[in-house]
Homo-oligomer: A and B are copies of this chain.
Amino acid sequence: MSAGFAFELLKTDGGARRGRLRLAHGSVETPAFMPVGTRGAVKGVTLDAVAALGADIILANTYHLHVRPGDDVIARVGGLHAFAGWDRPILTDSGGYQVFSLSSRRQVSEAGVVFQSHLDGKPLTLSPESAADIQARLGSDIAMVFDECPSWPATHEAAEASMERTLRWARRGRDRFLDLAAGRVPEVVRATPGQAQFGIIQGSTFKDLRDRSVAGTVAVGFDAYAIGGLSVGEPIDAMYDIVEHTAAQLPGELPRYLMGTGMPDDLVESVARGIDMFDCVLPTRNARNGQLFTRRGPISIKNARYAEDLTPPDPECQCPTCRRHSRAYLRHLFMSGEMSGAALNTLHNLHFYLDTMRAIRNAIELGTFRVFRTAFLDTYSRRRPD
């Protein structure tokens, strides 16, 4: 286990777990939601605001920061924390997801992936080793191992081949990480000495492949484990089923991270299945598109019915947006294309996600998570008539 990394399991309540993660730059209360800060910035809001909303940790994208401004630049100024002015924990993804979803003309081989930058078409390479090097330079608290992200649906054969490759890459990525940690790669600056590394479980929606992925990845031995390859288009019940099946096999004394999920009810349902960490672009991306999450479900702020509605987006909400502003004003800002509309919507949605996690943690501490879960799902409608 990496120096500086520890997970304390404080309480369980059914499948739900209340924990505390200790990382190089501070503690994270779990279950935790990590706002997505793609380029070292959470879209639409300042990091001051993200801190004020109570985020313990943010996620940044290895791929995007590698392309611009470059991990060499970030290493020279002392790592991503110094560069971005964020002193709390940061998790960096492996870059795999973006390589497979953003770049054109990629060539995947056993060595790694050669692809063209989505910015300028420049040829770039990511491999288990280089993804570890880049994240060492970025100096995140948690680095993710480089994995292959198959699209959905996939045949059993394709998903198996991809999962097997991810396993082989996991061994190489872990070896490189351990070499970096031991100072055996002096040419790569390691901006955060206490960096930890998580492995990623793949296997699409096939339980037998997930089983083999868990066994193989845990055999490699990471600081903790994430479930990848979900929230990529599969039916929601299939996702919940794979989450439940996979989480149950992961080491109970380590945090479990479900990558890229999800809607607010997905967070509640996944906590019930033993997940401790989440990231998702939905609260920030949907904010910019005018969708606001409320206790009763999402609302679309551009709806004409809100033109003269002086109530806040969510009357029960204590966020900076709801304390000062009305639906009428937010609709006006959206219709006018005012930047501060996106900022206010983002503040609200991030608050909603972070506050939902606070409520979840509180319920687990009180041993009332089952009641909380039922009440939340009774009230929350994924598709609110709008």
Contacts and interface: CB of A to CB of B under 8 A. Distances in A.
A340 B339 CA distance: 9
A113 to B, nearest CB: 23
B307 A41 contact: no
A69 B339 contact: no
Interface string A46-68: 11100000000000000000001
Interface in A318-336: 320, 324-326, 328-329, 332-333, 335-336
Contacts of A344: 46
Contacts of A4: none
Nearest to A42: B340
Contacts of A248: none
A342 interface: yes
B339 A307 contact: no
A308 B76 contact: yes
A73 interface: yes
Contact of A41 (B68, B77, B333): B333
B68 A335 contact: yes
Contact of A339 (B76, B324, B333, B343): B343
A339 B85 contact: no
A336 B84 CA distance: 14
A208 interface: no
Contacts of A339: 43-44, 339, 342-343
A46 B119 CA distance: 31
A40 interface: yes
A152 interface: no
Contacts of A39: 332-333, 336, 338
A45 interface: yes
B310 A82 contact: yes
A260 to B, nearest CB: 21
A85 B326 contact: yes
B83 A320 contact: no
A340 B82 CA distance: 17
B43 A307 contact: no
A341 interface: yes
How many protomers of this protein does the assembly include? 2
Residue of A43, A338, A339, A342 with most partner-chain B CB within 10 A: A339
A102 to B, nearest CB: 14
A118 to B, nearest CB: 12
A48 B324 contact: yes
B325 A85 contact: yes
Contact of A77 (B73, B76, B328, B335): B328
Contacts of A328: 69, 73, 77, 83
A162 to B, nearest CB: 31
Interface string A330-372: 0011011011111110010000000000000000000000000
A76 B307 CA distance: 11
A338 B341 CA distance: 15
A307 B68 CA distance: 11
A280 to B, nearest CB: 19
Contacts of A47: 324-325, 340
A332 B43 contact: no
A340 B46 contact: yes
10 contacts: A39-B333, A43-B338, A44-B339, A45-B343, A46-B344, A77-B310, A83-B328, A85-B325, A339-B343, A343-B343
Given A39-B332, A41-B333, A84-B325, 20 more contacts: A40-B329, A41-B338, A43-B338, A43-B340, A46-B320, A46-B340, A46-B344, A46-B347, A47-B325, A48-B324, A73-B307, A77-B308, A77-B310, A78-B310, A83-B310, A83-B326, A83-B328, A83-B329, A83-B332, A339-B342
